[in-house]
Structure formats: structure tokens, C-alpha cells
Amino acid sequence: MISFRVNSEDVVFEGDERTPLLWVLRDHSDLTGTKFGCGIGQCGACTVLVDGRAQRSCITPISSIEGRSITTIEGLATSDEELHPVQTAWLEYDVPQCGFCQAGQIMATVDLLQRIPNPTDADIDAQLTNICRCGTYARIRQAIHRAAELQVGGGRDV
């Protein structure tokens, strides 16, 4: 039995401890915003926050999550009326094209802005390794800069 928190709620998983976190989130917690992309931790579509840091959930065995706190895209906004600054910036810049990778992109950006509150383009290129098959990288970069502004102006930590 593995106990942890997902989006501020206590969760217990009683299955195989080798099960990837991705499948526990999607199949056992019905949190389908986290996507399966490659299954080998390369594309980043499955990115979630584990204790506030971006992590690829497709290669994270649930056994390593005991006692930890997970945030998925579903738990990022404080309410339907108050989106996270990164989500707001994503909407302002109309970032998604197909949208499949965007939950992972957003979660990786939240981590980036916690570590580097005002990243340069070089910081973004070096730190954000998620793949967007539609190639919306220019809009992603613009939205990251906007989210950095929003976090300072809105007084909310990203």
C-alpha cells in the first residue's frame, strides 16, 4: 500500500508498486489531463509536479511516491475563476495548437518559473525539454515571459 497526496487530497494505491505514476493518475484517480506520449520520459507530455518539481510520470514508479505530494494540471488552478498565471498566459498567447502536450508544457513551466522567476530565452531553451509536435515553441516562449510578468504583478507564486 502506497500513500501520497494528489492535488491536496490523500490517495492510497494498493496495486503493483512498479506501476508508473502516470497510470495511477489516469486509471485509478481518473485524472486524465496528464497524457501518455512516449513512455520513456523523453517527450514530457506526462509531466507533473512531485513536491513542486517537474517529473516525468511515465517513468516514475509509484513506489517512489510514498508520502510525497503530486500536482497535476487539474490541481494547478485555485478555482475555475482563478487560473494559475501560467495557464492565464497560455490562454492570452493562444499557445495550444493540437493541445496534446500542453498540460506537460504548463507543468514544466511552473517548475521553471519557481527556479528561475524571470528566465531569458536561453534559460527557456536550456531548461524546458518538453516536445511540442506542432512546433508552438515561439508562442510557448512568449507565454512563459508573460507568466513571469503575471507572477510578479499578481503577487502569486508560480
pLDDT digit string, tens, across residues 47-75: 999 999 999 999 999 999 999 999 999 99
Domain range spanning residue 33?
2-75
Question: Residues 123, 150: one domain?
Answer: yes
Q: For position 11, what pLDDT does the model report? A: 97
Q: For position 154, what pLDDT does the model report? A: 56
Considering its fold, how many domains does the chain have in total?
Answer: 2
Judge whether residue 140 has pLDDT over 70.
Answer: yes
Task: Please indicate, yes or no, if residue 80 is contained in any of the structural domains.
Answer: no
Q: Any idea what the CATH number is for the domain that residue 144 is in?
A: 1.10.150.120
pLDDT digit string, tens, across residues 80-111: 789 999 999 999 999 999 999 999 999 999 99
Judge whether residue 155 has pLDDT over 50.
Answer: no
Q: Any idea what the CATH number is for the domain that residue 27 is in?
A: 3.10.20.30
Question: Residues 14, 66: one domain?
Answer: yes
Question: Residues 101, 46: one domain?
Answer: no
Query: Of 75, 102, 131, which residue constitutes the final position of a domain?
Result: 75
Question: Residues 56, 118: one domain?
Answer: no
Question: Residues 54, 89: one domain?
Answer: no
Q: What is the largest CA-CA distance in the chain?
A: 45
Question: Residues 63, 97: one domain?
Answer: no
Predicted model pTM: 0.93
> Measured between alpha carbons, how far is 134 from 147 in angstroms, rounded to an integer?
21
Question: Residues 55, 89: one domain?
Answer: no
Q: For position 157, what pLDDT does the model report? A: 46
Question: Residues 144, 98: one domain?
Answer: yes
pLDDT digit string, tens, across residues 39-54: 999 999 999 999 999 9
Phi-psi region of 6 (alpha: psi -120 to 50; beta: other; left: phi over 0): beta
Work out the mean pLDDT of the chain and round it to a whole number. Answer: 94
